[in-house]
Amino acid sequence: MSYQGKKNIPKITSDRLLIKGGRIVNDDQSFHADIYMEDGLIKQIGDNLIVPGGVKTIEANGKMVIPGGIDIHTHFQMPYRGTTTVDDFSQGTKAALAGGTTMIVDHVIPEPGSSLMESYDQWRQWADEKACCDYSLHVDITHWNDSVKQEVDNLIKEKGVNSFQVYMAYKDYYQMTNSELYEVFTFLAERGGIAQVHAENGEIIAEEQARMLQMGITGPEGHVLSRPEELEAEAVFRAITIASQTNCPLYVTRVMSKSAADIISQARKKGNVVFGEPITASLGTDGTHYWSKNWAKAASFVTSPPLSPDPTTPDYLNTLLSSGDLSVTGSAHCTFSVSQKAIGKDDFTQIPEGVNGVEERMSLIWDKAVTTGKMDENMFVAVTSTNAAKILNLYPRKGRIAVGSDADLVIWDTDSIRTITAKTHNSTAEYNVFEGMELRGAPLVVICQGKIILEDGNLHVTSGVGRFIPCSAFPDFAYKRVKARKQLAVLRAVPRGMYDGPVSEFSMSRGGTPSASARTSPTKQPVRNLHQSGFSLAGNPAPCGPPTPDDIPIRPAGRRIVVPPGGRSNITSLS
């Protein structure tokens, strides 16, 4: 890992940087070339580049140069019942950079009832002040009405947000009904957004939690016992059904279990536009620790959906990630200190949820998936960076090493081995869920916005340099297929003559009763005149409208008119 440069601190004046002798790894191919960067952009790629003199040069010695990772799911500085997660945007992005991630996408979580736009501004302010790397934002939709709809529209059009998360869990709080999901998805499909779901069946969870607590199970094991993986799989299945009805691209955050992953891969085989996001924790560890005798350790694993107690889960998820059934990886980094977790010491439902993982994500996937031969380096780049950039419509600015792309690069050392521990990690949390794990593969040099951030094991971050990267609507990666399908999906009615045979009496409503709008809509009566003459029981042309109880007196209790005057009506004898 030698580099030919002055030993100056890279908080540098010179914005120019040359990486020589690296092997560039994109998601489609790898090749040897030098990279020249200037002003945070990649300016040239090739051999024997002509560059200005005095440029700082890094000698890669044939090591891999990959696009910086994109962590598509973080919760830095998340407010929680008056406290905040321990890693703020500065600490969090620092940890991210240390692990080779040069961009994060955080979730804005508006309290139910509050304005999406205000929450968005609040998050922007926090992140702009503190973030050390570029960032973008998802916005969570925690309640649904017309004003929220308007705000979503504005966020998409003006604020650079193209992904919105809805919750199927957290009953009476964030949870949405199926009808609301349907409406949200319909709206997002119109406006070109990505629908993200937190997929768990909140109703059943609430019931199970009550049952666990009644049985006297109050420790963190109750968390996983009350959220069995079936509930996750069920919700994924339901979300896919709704998304497919509304023709909306779906993104399932935090795929934690085999069965949920299976459902996603099945749906993809059937052609649904759905993306699955396993997180560092589900790829790297399992839920057996919930039964740890050490309460604080057990509590540090609490996240939702929970880690699966099945120890073969991480391996399985890594396999699906390698085969492309799962598309992107995040960390869902959302750390709480032990004393914060202890809010739920007597009741697991009160334990704040979240695990670490932003720093470990790249190394962990390399170790679990690439060194085991499940995926190659190109696929590694795809799942850690490129696919995320495509879904967010940031490609090729992010997620690719190409001329014109942002100079977010990582020189990856495939041989480095380090042991993960809370003692050395960059997060402020006391526990690390990957404690003691030995991982192969780590970033040697991290370049973010054209500046060297990690070099020689030293991290040089600057709070507040991170820029907000707006994401535009209708990402091709998701919407090309959706658009084509929309054109095909036009439904057509069967042109029939009007039914003018006898109509039975009926009282109050049953069956679908799709509310007022439905009752009034069927007002098209195209071919009425043609056939009406044959039947003259009631002289007024009104009864073809939606039958209401008022119609009935006109037709004298016409219960059964088997042979109406003028012969059988046309409509029943056409075929």
Q: Considering only residues 175 through 194, tell me which ones interact with other proteins, judged by CB under 8 A.
A: 177-179, 182-183, 186
Site membership for other proteins, residue 225 (CB under 8 A): yes
Least distance (Å) between residue 554 CB and other proteins: 15
Judged by CB under 8 A, which of 419, 421, 424, 572 binds other proteins?
572
Q: List the one residue out of 242, 167, 231 whose CA is nearest residue 198.
A: 167
Write down the residue that tokens 């919760």 correspond to.
75
Query: Strand pairing of 64-67 and 409-419?
Result: antiparallel
Judged by CB under 8 A, which of 310, 347, 376, 435 binds other proteins?
347
Judged by CB under 8 A, which of 104, 116, 166, 298 binds other proteins?
298
Judged by CB under 8 A, which of 88, 134, 221, 408 binds other proteins?
221
Site membership for other proteins, residue 339 (CB under 8 A): yes
Q: Which range touches other proteins (CB under 8 A), out of 23-31, 51-59, 381-389, 566-574?
A: 566-574
User: What letters, b where the CB count within 10 A reaches 16 and e where it falls short, cover 259-294?
Assistant: bbbebbbebbeeebbbbbbbbbbbbbbbbebbebee
Judged by CB under 8 A, which of 54, 511, 553, 565 binds other proteins?
511
Write down the residue that tokens 């509050």 correspond to.
114
Least distance (Å) between residue 436 CB and other proteins: 13
Least distance (Å) between residue 408 CB and other proteins: 35
Site membership for other proteins, residue 542 (CB under 8 A): no
Site membership for other proteins, residue 518 (CB under 8 A): yes
Rounded to whole angstroms, the Cα distance separating 574 from 34 reads: 75
Site membership for other proteins, residue 547 (CB under 8 A): yes
Judged by CB under 8 A, which of 13, 29, 214, 487 binds other proteins?
214
Least distance (Å) between residue 260 CB and other proteins: 12
H/E segment holding residue 258: helix 258-269
Least distance (Å) between residue 60 CB and other proteins: 43
Site membership for other proteins, residue 423 (CB under 8 A): no
Give Rg (Cα) of the chain.
29
Residue count of the chain, please give it. Answer: 575
Write down the residue that tokens 């939702």 correspond to.
304
Coil/strand/helix, residue 302: coil
Site membership for other proteins, residue 555 (CB under 8 A): no
Structural tokens at position 515: 């509310």
Q: List the one residue out of 197, 195, 193, 272 whose CA is nearest residue 475.
A: 193
Least distance (Å) between residue 20 CB and other proteins: 48
Residue closer to other proteins (CB basis): 104 or 242: 242
Report residue 519: phi and psi, to 5°: -65, -35
Cα angle, residue 155 at apex, residues 153 and 157 outer, rounded to 5°: 70
Site membership for other proteins, residue 534 (CB under 8 A): no
Looking only at residues 30 through 69 of this chain, which bind other proteins when binding is defined by CB under 8 A?
Answer: none
Judged by CB under 8 A, which of 271, 311, 464, 522 binds other proteins?
522
Q: Which range touches other proteins (CB under 8 A), out of 156-164, 287-295, 309-317, 444-452?
A: 287-295
Q: List the one residue out of 82, 137, 149 whose CA is nearest residue 109.
A: 137
Residue closer to other proteins (CB basis): 53 or 216: 216
Residue closer to other proteins (CB basis): 292 or 472: 292
Q: List the one residue out of 472, 437, 471, 365 whose CA is nearest residue 103.
A: 471
Judged by CB under 8 A, which of 30, 218, 319, 462 binds other proteins?
218
Residue closer to other proteins (CB basis): 247 or 449: 247
Please say whether the beta carbons of 448 and 102 come within 8 A.
Answer: yes
Site membership for other proteins, residue 125 (CB under 8 A): no
H/E segment holding residue 66: strand 64-67
Least distance (Å) between residue 220 CB and other proteins: 8
Give CA separation, 71 vs 76, 95, 163, 287, in Å. Answer: 12, 11, 14, 22
Site membership for other proteins, residue 540 (CB under 8 A): no
Size, binding site for other proteins by CB under 8 A: 110
Looking only at residues 147 through 166 of this chain, which bind other proteins when binding is defined by CB under 8 A?
Answer: none
Q: Assign 3-class secondary structure to 103-125.
A: EEEEEECCCCCCCHHHHHHHHHH
Report residue 552: phi and psi, to 5°: -65, -45
Please say whether the beta carbons of 256 and 282 come within 8 A.
Answer: yes
Residue closer to other proteins (CB basis): 7 or 560: 560
**Count of CB atoms situated within 10 Å of the CB of 176:** 21
Binding mask 468-497 for other proteins (x = CB under 8 A): -----------------------xxxx-xx
Least distance (Å) between residue 400 CB and other proteins: 36
